[in-house]
Structure 1
Amino acid sequence: MQWEPVALEALYDEILAAEEKMQGELWRFWQLIQIFPEKWQQTPYGDEGGGFWVVAVMGKQIIWYNDIEEGFNRSSYEQYGTFHEYWCNQDELVWPVQALLTEIKLGGGGFAQAGPPQNIDE
């Protein structure tokens, strides 16, 4: 079976499932940062699928869906529409939204990221 990029309809199913779990402050924060999903470019991992779906923007941070690993991630960006940091977390949407809210409230990082694939033969 060959990999195919996630369709917008399937992505919306993931988003709606996560929204059902959000309440109070987290729900209000999500309402502020979410955007209509749009494909952003990321090289090299996003090239084959035409980019990755970005679902939220806050300052210079984005929350995006990694359809290769089937999970949401957080990355920084410099130019709107493209980002360089690739993470392979398999998180539900609620987790990076909560992590971003916590970082804003408390300052600093503290959110673990799973890095890109490593070549263990080297």
Structure 2
Amino acid sequence: MTTSTEQCACGGWTPISESRLLDLIKRAETSMEAPAKALWELVRLPNAEIWQQHPWADEGCGFWVLATFSRRCLYFNDVTQGFAVSPFRNWGNIDHFEPDPTPLDELIERLTASACESA
């Protein structure tokens, strides 16, 4: 697990840069409704981390994980160029590859709606 693409020596594609990722996050935050923004602030990690996801992220040394909750992680999928949620058993390892990309604000809105329904 790393917090920088500079440590990647895999030789494949390079994960999205941290600065580009932060730009995507800032744009998404501006369009989040108050409940979604509150959930986002609750689950997001202080700093994004690169986690492993075998075999899809091997070539690029991993995917950026932005948040964790209920043994799930929210990550940026460089292969599909979107955000996704996966279960995880071990910190630093994404268990499931999600092939359907979703914008971050839309994904957080869905999670917020789901949390409200189960409350």
| TM-score computed with the length of structure 2 as normaliser | 0.82
Aligned residues: 106
Counterparts of 1:102 and 1:89, CA distance in 2: 19
Secondary structure of the corresponding residue to residue 48 of structure 1: helix
Gaps of 5+ in 1: 108-122
In 2, distance between residues paired with 1:96 and 1:62? 12
Q: Which structure: greater helix fraction?
A: 2
- Runs of 4+ with deviation above 3 angstroms: none
Hey, what does 2:3 align to over in structure 1? none
Q: How does 1:1-122 map to 2 (within 5 A)?
A: 3-35=13-45, 36-107=47-118
2:15/2:64 contact within 8 Å kept: no
Please report the TM-score for the alignment, with normalisation by the length of structure 1. 0.80
Q: Give the drift of 1:4.
A: 3.5
CA displacement at 1:78 relative to structure 2 = 0.9
Matched-pair contact (CA < 8 Å) for 1:63–1:97? no
1:23 Cα deviation (Å)? Answer: 2.4
Unpaired runs of 5+ residues, structure 2, are 1-11
Higher-RCO chain (CA-CA 8 Å, sequence separation at least 6): 2
Identity between Structure 1 and Structure 2 (%): 29
What secondary structure, in the 3-state scheme, does the structure 1 residue paired with 2:55 have? coil
